[in-house]
Structure 1
Amino acid sequence: MNTKHKLIQKLILVAAPVLASSVLAISPSRAATFALSAAEFEFENFSQSPSGVLASTDTDTFSFEENGVAEATAEANAIFLQSTEGGTNFNFTEAFGENQEYLAFAESESELIGSFEIEADNSFSFDFVANLDLATSIDNPPSENARAAGEISFFLFDIDNNTVLDSFDLIGNLTTEGDNDFVALQASDNVNFNQESVNPNFGGLEESLEASVEGSYKRLFTRNTNLALVEFKQNRVLVQAPEPSASLALLVSSGVIGVIMKRRRK
């Protein structure tokens, strides 16, 4: 550490309340954080057309900065065809922060719902593809923090008996810097994985996760059954430096956060 940096640290320790703003202004270090969470999912090749479909999306962003830069982006798209072709949806969230004090948050959600009327002694089947990508990066721990999380899930619901028959889950999380990184992939017996790839890069100041699954579903029904097939996807990112300050707490308590929050529904 050079003499200039040692002097600045000493001044902060001795006279932080008076000199903090001027010290930060001349410090050569610039805190920067980045977080990304994206996911896509596709149903295809249904054994029969759905009797009804629904596709929905929702996005939220929030940003706050004081002596810094904060940017948040959230996108979501979904479509479900009332045919055997299927449906697809896509989520994208990204947050970036730089300099001294900032917070940026983004969240995307999308959902596909299809209803199917299965006759007795018939099989219901389909193929699916799920992709999840997470990335985080910080420059100066522990004052900076970046988090990225994503979840892709679907389940089949017996409407008449109010019962979940089968399910699939792909979940991932990155916390930089921290020990809360994980990835989980699980499914019930009637869900088969034809091809899967999970590539985690945990640890350090730059982390990432890439996960991809190609699979299929098939189940025989011995009686007439009304099914609901529900797929849900959620992606979240957060960057901040330093920990939430008194000024941000005041902003939240005063209700101004409701003005800054940008909410879009499609």
Structure 2
Amino acid sequence: MNLYLEFVKRFLLATPLIASSAFFTAPSRAATFALSQGELKFTNFSQEFIGLEKVNDAHTFGSVNGGITQQINKANINFIATPPEISTSALSIAFGQDKDYLGLAQTEAKIVGNFDVDAGKSFSFDFAAALNLRTAIDEPPTENAHSMGDVSFFLLDTTNIDKPNLSEFLSNLSLDDTMILAKNTLDFFSLAANLNTSGKDDYLDKENSKNVTLTQLFQDDEFQGNEEFASAFIGGSLQRSFANKTNLTLLAVRRSQARVTAKEPAMNSVALLSLALIAIGKKLNVKQLITKK
């Protein structure tokens, strides 16, 4: 319960202050606002990490032709060795004012942990996941605000990966490795949300496998009007037993994106490609991504 209250305080109480200070700076002028906030935390691991890879990326982009746009990213990964505990969190904000602008803020983090489990033993951990998305506009359909976010993890059996190749495998593993995920995933969890003031593809969904137990759940959303929001907190645990000695890899991903536009100006296609936009515009269907176990 303490962890739940900690998340609620950070996500649901702080965000309206951020939103109001940015969105109502100049109430007489048309403005747009998008926010995506996410966090994923793991505690109480039954085994020590024998390998760990961390990647934390963030990007902003702005283009104006008479308007104003601002973008903010705050993203981090925190690791405590003893007892093992790891978390990742991010906040992406995009704000625009007047006409003819595009503002984008996005983050992506990856945590890859490796573990050895002896025969006849079980592997377990507790986790907490949270998302908080907000969008607001003054003048539809000229203006648009779009926010996306997801937090997810996959537990993979990597016993068949040769030890000399394991380090490279951990470094390169990502959600793009659909063949590996389909073949090796034992258990999974995903929390994903999308808001678009155009009224298309709004959702707030979760998925999990049978060995993932959800113990705490808070969810609230509003998908209508010029101001939309989606918020969720989920607490849970994973536990799985192994008859044989097994090498396990935990892949955890946290992504956020906030985007605002008003009569989007033409941009160089090379500049667009250089953004390397996070591919979370479509709903992440984990059950289709992996083989059912």
| TM-score between both structures, scaled by the size of structure 2 | 0.74
d(CA) in 2 for partners of 1:105, 1:34: 11
Tell me if the contact between 1:76 and 1:89 (Cα under 8 Å) persists in the aligned partners.
Answer: yes
Deviation at 1:163, TM superposition (A): 1.1
Of 204, 212, 220, which aligns to 1:191?
212
Q: Deviations 1:119-172 (Å, cap 9, x if unpaired)?
A: 010010000010100000000000000000001010001012551100000000
Rounded to whole Å, the distance in 1 between the matches of 2:271 and 2:243 is 57
Rounded to whole Å, the distance in 2 between the matches of 1:180 and 1:57 is 27
Q: Shift of residue 76 of structure 1?
A: 1.3
Structure 1 vs Structure 2 CA RMSD: 2.1
Find the structure with the greater CA-based Rg: 1
Q: Would you say how many aligned residue pairs link Structure 1 and Structure 2? A: 229
Per-residue deviation at 1:257? 6.6
Does 1:209 find its partner at 2:230? yes
1:46-86 Cα distance to aligned partner (Å, 9 max, x none): 01111111222000100011111011112210023344432
User: Is the 8 Å Cα contact of residues 61 and 262 (structure 1) preserved in structure 2?
Assistant: no
What is the deviation of 1:99?
A: 0.3
> 1:239 and 2:238 equivalent?
no
Task: Give 1:168's aligned residue.
Answer: 189
After TM superposition, the score normalised by the length of structure 1 is: 0.81
Secondary structure of 2:47's partner?
Answer: coil
Runs of 4+ displaced beyond 4 Å: 255-259
Residues 1:227 and 1:168: Cα distance change in structure 2 (over 3 Å):
same
Q: Deviations over 1:73-122 (max 9, x none)?
A: 12210023344432011111000000011100011111211100000100
Question: Could you tell me whether the CA contact under 8 Å between 2:31 and 2:98 is conserved in 1?
Answer: yes
Counterpart residue type for residue 45 of structure 2? F
Cα gap change, 1:256/1:215 in structure 2, threshold over 3 Å: closer, same or farther?
Answer: closer
User: Is contact 1:48–1:84 with CA below 8 Å preserved after alignment?
Assistant: no
* One-letter identity of the residue aligned with 1:87: I
Paired with 2:244 and 2:81, the residues of 1 have a C-alpha distance of 23
The corresponding residue for 1:123 is: 122
Runs of 5+ unmatched residues, structure 1: 1-27
| CA distance, structure 1, for counterparts of residue 187 and residue 40 of structure 2 | 17
2:152 corresponds in structure 1 to: 153
Aligned to 1:16: none
Q: Distance in 2 between matches of 1:166 and 1:138?
A: 39
Q: Distance in 2 between matches of 1:256 and 1:34?
A: 23
What's the counterpart of residue 65 of structure 1? 64
SS at match of 1:100: coil
Q: Which of 219, 226, 234 is matched with 2:247 structurally?
A: 226
Within-5 A mapping of 1:20-169: 30-161=29-160, 163-169=184-190
SS in 2 for 1:104: strand
Structure holding more strand per residue? 1
| 1:226 partner amino acid | N
Residue identity opposite 1:76 in structure 2: A
Aligned 8 A contact 1:72 1:106 in 2: yes
Give the 3 Å change call, closer, same or farther, for CA 176–124 of structure 1 in structure 2.
Answer: same
**CA offsets, 1:170-215, max 9 Å, x none?**
0000001313210110100000000111101110000001100000
Q: Secondary structure at the match of 1:48?
A: coil
| CA deviation after TM superposition for structure 1 residue 29, in Å | 6.9
Question: Alpha-carbon deviation of 1:31?
Answer: 2.5
Equivalent AA in structure 2 for residue 136 of structure 1: T
